[in-house]
């Protein structure tokens, strides 16, 4: 079969349109004809050759044939069905459907006709399908699809035993699509649905939801749902392992009940009115938070919480240093992203005794950090983390004001009061000729006898440094050589990545990321 089959699969566009469109509708075929999509004579010959080889497919066991077909992308699976009766049979129970304008070949069509075609095609496919396992339905740019169609398609999906469902209605429709929660009340949904992604919908009447005993992943983005509605949804989803909630603007207090005994990953982002997160899930290991307000976060049992990511426009370093030891004492990996700090990171006696990897990102489109902010105050995190193995500090070009290092600079800061016995790798991306950054590096060199690698990247971590930043990066390279290089102990691999060898720097950076 080989190349002849694949050539036929790639070139039978008209057959694809006929397969996807309803039997009594000629719109798809006429569209293909009007677009000038025709098969060359050589393509027709190859397709005919493939059809003559049909008995080869018939000899395969049906389950093997269906499995091979299921491994194809949806476009290729449909095209294969155009040239093979065997694949045509398996197409009707093809398990993983991704339906959008691209996969249905409607990109570039006139808007009104495109929406009519999409409705006809999706309706035809789902009505004649069985054995559905995954349905990803993206209608982002189709504003005129009525709720009745969406209701019918979801009804077919749930009653066919779908395991993974993703629904993205149009962004341009009037009013939110009201997801029919009653569809989640039946035994079909309860016994099958394992992953559910809902975008841009209203989710009311969650009291009608049944026990979703197999649901492991729930992702809600821009979903209109209240605290009470979400609480009821979660109470029916006790098998959840991953919960993601983004841009849900009606949630004020997010409560994760102790009934979610299998929940391991929680991601919460940009819920504008959210004021508090109360976590009682006993097995939670990973927590992501991003938002515009600092929350009251409480964790009932933090013994398994090992991976924490926090993004906040300002003061997240202060918040993390003062609050994390009490809410995530056993954290092993910590990623902090700040767009501004008004005060230095405080020195405190509280510890993060198991922290092994620390990454701090200082971002900003202008000097968003106080001019008085002292980078050396980041030592507070190092002193609080006696088990730390790697430390990454990323600083964007305009995040901080830079107090330049004079030619006769002499390090006069206090000597380290502790010796870090486990820190082995340190990388600073966006290193500048700033006195406080130089002093931070010197402090690390004097207090970390276990250090094996120190990398100072004077670029912003991208291939090719903008011309306006090249001069500043070159000064940083010179300062690193003058003020730091002579202090690096023997046996420590010391690297300074500059803008003039961007290809080498980029390769080295990728290697370092693997190590960290």
DSSP code string of 418-460: S--SS--EEEEET--SBHHHHHHHHHHHHH-TT--EEEEE-S-
Residue 68: pLDDT band (50, 70, 90) is low
Phi, psi (deg, nearest 5) at residue 189: -70, -45
For residue 378, the model assigns a pLDDT of 95
For residue 31, the model assigns a pLDDT of 34
For residue 507, the model assigns a pLDDT of 59
Q: Are 400 and 362 in contact, with CB atoms under 8 Å apart?
A: yes
Mean pLDDT over 467-480 rounds to 83
Name which of 406, 334, 345 is nearest 370 in CA terms. 345
For residue 15, the model assigns a pLDDT of 42
Separation in Å, CA 294 to CA 41, 169, 321, 324, 446: 66, 31, 13, 13, 35
Name which of 374, 250, 258 is nearest 317 in CA terms. 374
Mean pLDDT over 467-472 rounds to 73
- Mean pLDDT (the chain) is 81
User: Does residue 9 carry a pLDDT above 50?
Assistant: no
For residue 44, the model assigns a pLDDT of 39
Q: Are 154 and 183 in contact, with CB atoms under 8 Å apart?
A: yes
The residue whose two tokens read 């029916």 is 236
Residue 109: pLDDT band (50, 70, 90) is confident
For residue 105 the two structure tokens come to: 């070949």
- CB neighbours of residue 10 within 10 Å: 13
Residue 355: pLDDT band (50, 70, 90) is very high
Q: Are 267 and 295 in contact, with CB atoms under 8 Å apart?
A: no
Residue 287: pLDDT band (50, 70, 90) is very high
Cα Rg of the chain, angstroms: 29
Note the pLDDT tens digit of each residue in 396-436. 877 776 677 767 677 766 677 778 999 999 999 999 888 88
The model's pTM is 0.83
Percent of the chain predicted with pLDDT > 70:
74
Residue 73: pLDDT band (50, 70, 90) is low
Residue 292: pLDDT band (50, 70, 90) is confident
Give the bridge partners for 427, in sequence order: 392, 455
Separation in Å, CA 327 to CA 282, 301, 321, 379: 13, 9, 11, 21
Mean pLDDT over 127-144 rounds to 87
Percent of the chain predicted with pLDDT > 90:
51
Note the pLDDT tens digit of each residue in 236-283. 999 999 999 999 999 999 999 999 999 999 999 999 999 999 999 999
Residue 108: pLDDT band (50, 70, 90) is confident
Note the pLDDT tens digit of each residue in 295-353. 789 999 899 999 999 998 788 999 999 999 999 999 999 999 998 888 899 999 999 99
Mean pLDDT over 379-387 rounds to 95
**What is the SS3 string spanning 55-85?**
HHHHCCCHHHHHHHHHCCCHHHHHHHHHHCH
Name which of 292, 287, 294 is nearest 318 in CA terms. 294
Give the bridge partners for 268, in sequence order: 245, 289
For residue 81, the model assigns a pLDDT of 63
Name which of 136, 259, 148 is nearest 199 in CA terms. 136
Look at phi and psi of residue 364 and say left if phi exceeds 0, alpha if psi is from -120 to 50, else beta: left
Mean pLDDT over 445-454 rounds to 95
Residue 293: pLDDT band (50, 70, 90) is confident
Q: What distance in Å separates the CA atoms of residue 377 and residue 397, rounded to the nearest whole number?
A: 20
For residue 416, the model assigns a pLDDT of 72
Residue 204: pLDDT band (50, 70, 90) is very high
Residue 5: pLDDT band (50, 70, 90) is very low
- The separation between CA 181 and the C-alpha centre of its own chain, rounded to angstroms, equals 26
For residue 248, the model assigns a pLDDT of 96
User: Does residue 65 carry a pLDDT above 60?
Assistant: no
User: Does residue 32 carry a pLDDT above 80?
Assistant: no
Q: What distance in Å separates the CA atoms of residue 485 and residue 70, rounded to the nearest whole number?
A: 58
Q: What letters, b where the CB count within 10 A reaches 16 and e where it falls short, cover 407-422?
A: eeeeeeeeebeeebee
Name which of 397, 428, 401, 418 is nearest 494 in CA terms. 428
For residue 406, the model assigns a pLDDT of 65
């Amino acid at each position: 079969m080989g190349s002849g089959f694949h050539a036929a699969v790639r070139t039978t566009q008209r057959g694809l349109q006929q397969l996807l469109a309803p039997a009594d509708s000629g719109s798809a075929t006429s569209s293909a004809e009007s677009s000038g999509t025709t098969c060359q004579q050589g393509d027709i010959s190859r397709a005919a050759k493939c059809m003559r080889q049909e008995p080869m497919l018939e000899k395969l066991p049906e389950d093997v044939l269906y499995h091979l077909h299921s491994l194809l992308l949806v476009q290729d699976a449909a095209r294969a069905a155009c040239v093979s009766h065997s694949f045509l049979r398996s197409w009707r129970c093809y398990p993983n459907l991704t339906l959008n304008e691209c996969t249905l070949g409607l990109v570039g069509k006139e808007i009104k006709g495109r929406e009519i075609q999409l409705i006809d095609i999706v309706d035809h496919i789902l009505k004649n399908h069985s054995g559905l396992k995954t349905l990803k339905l993206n209608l982002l740019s189709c504003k005129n699809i009525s709720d009745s169609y969406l209701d019918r398609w979801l009804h077919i999906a749930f009653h066919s035993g779908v395991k993974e469902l993703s629904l993205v209605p149009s962004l341009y429709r009037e009013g939110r699509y009201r997801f029919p929660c009653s569809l989640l009340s039946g035994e079909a949904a309860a016994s099958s649905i394992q992953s559910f992604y809902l975008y841009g919908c209203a989710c009311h009447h969650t009291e009608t939801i049944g026990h979703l005993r197999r649901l492991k992943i729930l992702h809600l983005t821009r979903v209109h749902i209240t605290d009470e509605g979400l609480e009821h949804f979660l109470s029916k989803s006790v098998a959840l392992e991953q919960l993601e909630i983004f841009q849900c603007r009606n949630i004020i207090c997010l409560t994760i009940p102790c009934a979610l005994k299998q929940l391991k990953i929680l991601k919460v982002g940009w819920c504008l009115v959210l004021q508090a997160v109360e976590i009682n899930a006993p097995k939670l290991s990973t927590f992501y938070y991003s938002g515009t307000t600092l929350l009251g976060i409480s964790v009932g049992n933090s013994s398994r919480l090992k991976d924490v990511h926090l993004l906040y426009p300002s003061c997240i370093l202060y918040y993390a240093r003062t609050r994390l030891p009490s809410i995530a004492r056993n954290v092993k990996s910590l990623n902090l992203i700040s767009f501004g700090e008004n005060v230095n990171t405080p020195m405190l006696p509280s510890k993060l005794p198991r922290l092994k990897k620390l990454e701090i990102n200082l971002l900003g489109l202008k000097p968003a950090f106080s001019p008085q902010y002292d980078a050396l105050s980041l030592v507070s995190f190092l002193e609080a983390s006696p088990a730390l193995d790697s430390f990454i500090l990323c600083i964007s070009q305009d995040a901080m004001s830079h107090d330049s290092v004079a030619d006769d600079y002499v390090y006069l800061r206090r000597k380290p009061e502790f010796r870090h016995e486990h820190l082995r790798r340190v990388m600073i991306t966006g290193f500048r000729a700033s006195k406080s950054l130089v002093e931070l590096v010197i402090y690390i060199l004097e207090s970390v006898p276990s250090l094996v690698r120190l990398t100072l990247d004077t670029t912003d971590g991208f291939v090719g440094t903008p011309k306006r930043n090249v001069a500043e990066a070159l000064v940083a390279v010179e300062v690193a050589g003058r003020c730091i290089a002579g202090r690096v102990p023997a046996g420590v691999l010391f690297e300074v990545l500059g803008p003039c060898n961007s290809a080498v720097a980029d390769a080295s950076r990728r290697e370092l990321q693997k190590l960290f």
